[in-house]
Structure 1
Amino acid sequence: MSITIDRPSTTTDRTAGCRILRRHTIVTTHGMDGVLLVAAELRACGGLVKEMAVDVREGVGCSELTCSVSMTAEEAAEFVTRLRALPSVESVDPY
């Protein structure tokens, strides 16, 4: 796994850090509908999503979505909370 610095934070708060690519694996239910719900939420992140891969299989109860999002540590915590609030999301794990 590589870490890429996107741009430094413009805040003076050192805990905010800088934006780096943070990879997450998101497990969803409800097949393609669940994945599309997560994809819509990722789209709301704007241009911060740098890559995304989806694994949806017929007859399997859960699907997996892996994405790399450019964000600070604080934004990453908010990101996980936001995604876990979706009804189809079973788990959100940093890669």
Structure 2
Amino acid sequence: MSVIDERPRTTWTPRMHRRHEIVITDGMEGVLRVGAALADCGFPVRDFAAEVREGVPYSSITCTVSLTGSECETFSQRLSAMPNVIAVTPC
């Protein structure tokens, strides 16, 4: 019997709750687009809050997403690629 398996083992990577602020344009439509993108990404979203004000060009979303260390950069890059996203900042 060998200690080493013939198949490579996958390692478990811990997830941490990471809070982000996302600045967007397009008001409520922009919030809904970002919300749909978060749902499509497959990252668990723990809480989600949006602030949309009439007459203000930018809105903000604050959300807590469960990510691994390597997913954190990918998450910001994915959302920043959306046309209505101005900034993605970890809180």
Which TM-score applies when normalising by structure 2? 0.83
Once the two structures are aligned, what percentage of the paired residues are identical?
50
Give the unaligned 5+ runs of structure 2: 1-9
Tell me the alpha carbon deviations over residues 9-52 of structure 1, each in whole angstroms, 9 at most, x when there is no partner.
x626xxxx520100000000011111111100111134600100
SS of residue matched to 2:82? coil
Conserved? CA contact 2:24–2:86, under 8 Å: yes
Matched position secondary structure for 1:44 = helix
* Aligned residue in 1 for 2:19: 23
Q: Which amino acid aligns with 2:67?
A: M
Deviation beyond 3 Å, 4+ runs, structure 1: none
Match of 2:37 among 37, 41, 47: 41
In structure 2, distance between residues paired with 1:59 and 1:69: 29
User: Over aligned residue pairs, what C-alpha RMSD do you find?
Assistant: 1.5
Q: Return 5+ residue gaps in structure 1 as ranges.
A: 1-9
Equivalent residue pairs, number: 82
Native 8 Å contact 2:19 2:90 kept in 1 = yes
Q: Which has the larger radius of gyration?
A: 2
Matches of 2:72 and 2:37, distance apart in 1: 14
Residue in 2 that maps onto 1:7? none
Structure-1-length-normalised TM-score: 0.80
2:52/2:60 contact within 8 Å kept: yes
